[in-house]
Amino acid sequence: MRILILEDEAPAKRKLIGYLSDFLEVPFTQDSARTVVKGIELLHDDRYDLILADIKLLDGTSFEIFQKVETTTPIIFCTAYEEHLLEAFQTNGIAYVIKPYSRNDLESALKKFQGLFENITLNKEVLIQLQLALDMKNETYKKRFVIRKREGIKLLNTSEISLIQASGDFCKIVDRKGHLHMISKSIGMLEQQLNPKDFFRINRSQLVGIESIQKIEPYTKNRLVLKIEGVVEPVKTSSSATKAFRIWLES
């Protein structure tokens, strides 16, 4: 059995592979892609029995892959987007699980596909509907966060944010004046809530605001070092995110 995994986060990919190993009774091999470009390249071969796809990839959405490459391979979407955005999938025979999903959630989706006797062609009209729904969601990105402090509650506008640093289930936020704030949300959750036109995840644990970037210099062949307003120490892009970061800067 051949499986294609479209997922930009390494921990999520490892989680999927672990669940698949526990559930599937047949040997399988897997290819993976973190970007739309790589996903299109792999899917052109179209020799997969199953696709597991996150919606948001480093350089776009997995919808873009399926709009450009015809496939009859069953797809399970593993996504952090709310369930009501994905209702159209139900009428097209496509399953999905909502992050953070459990082992049982994924197994239920896999059982659905095990019960199919023939491949289902992905209806591009469904993808268009979903892309429109996501575009509408983009209009409701967070404009401010409520930060609880000892002295009371502070409203922090997203335009004031320079850097977000993951810290377990919490995140540290540094504003443009260099003040530190703590928020009880994961970096993955904050990434979904912030407008991707204004914020970019430069590595596994850091998000930067585009208006706070003061200087960009080469660090290694595939990495960049950034000076951020209000942040003492420079931050660095990961080698896997650098190409997408360059594209984001010009978008």
Residue-wise pLDDT tens digits, 80-127: 665 545 554 543 445 666 666 667 777 777 776 665 544 455 555 656
The predicted-structure confidence for 129-168, as pLDDT tens digits, reads as follows 566 656 555 556 888 999 888 888 889 999 999 999 998 8
Distances (CA, A) of 218 to 33, 139, 189, 235: 25, 34, 29, 12
| In the chain, domain spans | 2-138, 144-250
Give the domain 2-138 fold: Rossmann fold (3.40.50)
Answer whether 0.95 is exceeded by the pTM: no
Other beta carbons within 10 angstroms of residue 220's beta carbon come to 11
Domain 144-250: give its CATH code. 2.40.50.1020
Beta partners for residue 181, in sequence order: 173
For 40, half-sphere exposure in the C-beta direction (CA atoms, 13 angstrom radius) is: 12
236, two tokens? 């660095």
CB 30 within 8 A of CB 3: yes
